[in-house]
Structure 1
Amino acid sequence: MRASTTLFLLIFLAGLLFLAACETEPEPMVVWSNVPDTAFLVELYNAERDQPVHFRYISNLTEALTQQRVDADVVIGRWVNNPPARAVMIRDGDNDPWTPLAFNLGTIVFDASRVRLAPDLSVTPEELGENLRLLRDNPDDDPPPMRFVPSLSARFLYEMVRIGGVVPEPFPEGGPRWSAENYDRAFEGVREWQERWNGSAREEREYRERFLYEPWYRLLENQRVLAVYLPSNQFLDWSFFAGSSLDFRWLRDGEGLVRVLEDVVYAGIPEASASRNRARQFISWIRETETQVSLMEHKIEQRIDTFGVFGGFSTEPEVNRRMGREIYGELAGRIPEPDMLALPGPRPRYWDEALEAVVHPYLAAAAGGSDSDGEQLGRQLRRWYDQRGD
């Protein structure tokens, strides 16, 4: 009897230990992201730890966070800092629900073997018109009729109106709080630039349509223009670091600040997360200098041609310093410090889609000589949002 009682107790205790082990075994943490670098980051994390993280690529994170069941514990992505997405993320006290991780900058690109531009780190649109010149030691080079063509890039036009005071703030429900007056004032600056340096919008359009049909690097090589505009993640790839004569300046506003582009990469924790503490630890790990340097080194070893951290610069200054010292020597001393940068605030939901569908085409047409009216653009945006829906 005593032996059978002892056997029963042993079996009972073993069962309790098994159940306790099952209860303490954590579920894999899930990361949603629309940034490809996140997959490599998860790979590094899983190689170091026994508790796996699962990665899931979601192209439209705002839509996924607000319209479907959320099984993510961490979200890492672009175009998520908008009211509907912010509303479903946790915030610790008064802290913002989104932690910025990486960013890109507007870049003026030119061929340093042929072109002279002030040696500063950055340049304003006005300085671009005043200072962009051919080098004097190339007497056989003839300057092109137009040294820089704003309408060649709708993205540049948008950055010009942002510099001029257009801030696409969102209403609480997520749509844009559009100021026609701010837009009209800002676009007048585009018109003045065109008239001063390129004659008129019409002349610029005719020159662009006749001569500026090749890829940007061919335009510089063939000296159709002396400089072009590119987002930094499109310019800083293998071709720049392969030892070409291309050089660049950051695009700066009149107050001395380099405006960060709006596609900032953020990290946050959804309210639906069942692993908030682990999620916080994961985001803290992401922000560590060694983690981000390892990510860049891993991509280079694997011959993955995406620049920097999450395709851009880090919001951690020490990471950018090491980026210049150890990985991208061409950038040493050229990455702006935090006090030189202006980060954008929250944007309307689906603002990236609205830019491509409405704002960029409207700016391109207006810079080509069509009428430009802030009220009209505002109506087009409202119509697009009504048709887009939630």
Structure 2
Amino acid sequence: MHDSTTTYDRIRPLLWTEAGLQVLDQRFLPERTEYRLCTSAQEVAEAIRTMQVRGAPAIGIAAAFGVVLAARQRFRQDPKRWKEAIEKDFAVLAEARPTAVNLAWALARMRRCLAALDGDPEPALLAEAQAIQAEDLAANRRMGRLGAELIGGAKGILTHCNTGSLATSGFGTALGVVRALWQRAAARGETLRVYATETRPWLQGARLTLWELEQDGIPATLICDSAAALLMRRRLIDWVVVGADRIAANGDVANKIGTYQLAVAARYHGIGFMVVAPTSTIDWNLPHGDRVPIEERSENELLPPYFQSQGKRVQALNPVFDVTPAALISALVTERGLACPPTAASLRTLRAP
């Protein structure tokens, strides 16, 4: 029997070293694997902003290590007033990506740790950042098991964007469920079809998800984003499994652009729609999804070069997230259990006391 925690989980996007945080630059995948060393909070923020590191959990983990680097620098500069100076670094990290709530969650946790420190803050802050990273990996493996148990004998899975090791500390959220399902199918000699959308315009599915699965020996089929409904109509898809960047208290889910239309198509075709995310992705202060800040990136990510020159009467709208209403979601899988379906009441059962 294959061990999903080793055989199907080899990739790590963030590696801490004494010199700083090594970030796997995902802009270059799959053509080449290149780690970049970040030695300051500003460099970590830039890595987040420019999509070198992406995925809500990974962004939060990177930010936590960014605080460690900031504390190292500020304490060396002024051992007496470093706590005042580090506030600038917290602000820079917080502004790197506005939608993923894990970023704010991780910074808040690091701030609570920092508040009680005297003397050199680096050892304690480093231990806290490493704990965040380790807890995320454990949570991902538990979510993978829970999601696989809920789906059971599904034969066709569709996933969107990249929700695997590259987007987390390892194993992944939605792609962790795929890994756990593949382990089960391999052990039983069964067939599992994994379909991945391209996920335009950054092609996280085509570049990252397919590369991850290929690295771990899991076959997958790429489709263009607009082919999903056709596959559902042909009964090739049993479940859609996606991640989340922010979940409102009522169960609405903000995720990569295109998630909403997949949920609509799944509901029309009677197909299950699963969201897999740690409880750190739930924004308990956000009553519903209409209040989620939707990041919009440069129109040049969409426009062909011909239309990017000044004077052309063509524009592009490039929102990178959308919000899926809770009513379209069959199940929310977290490390603390399931909400089937997600509602304000079912989510409250997942909240820590």
Fold conserved between structures, TM > 0.5: no
Task: Determine which structure has more spread, i.e. the larger CA radius of gyration.
Answer: 1
Q: Which range, TM-score by smaller chain? A: under 0.3
TM-score by length of structure 1 reads 0.22
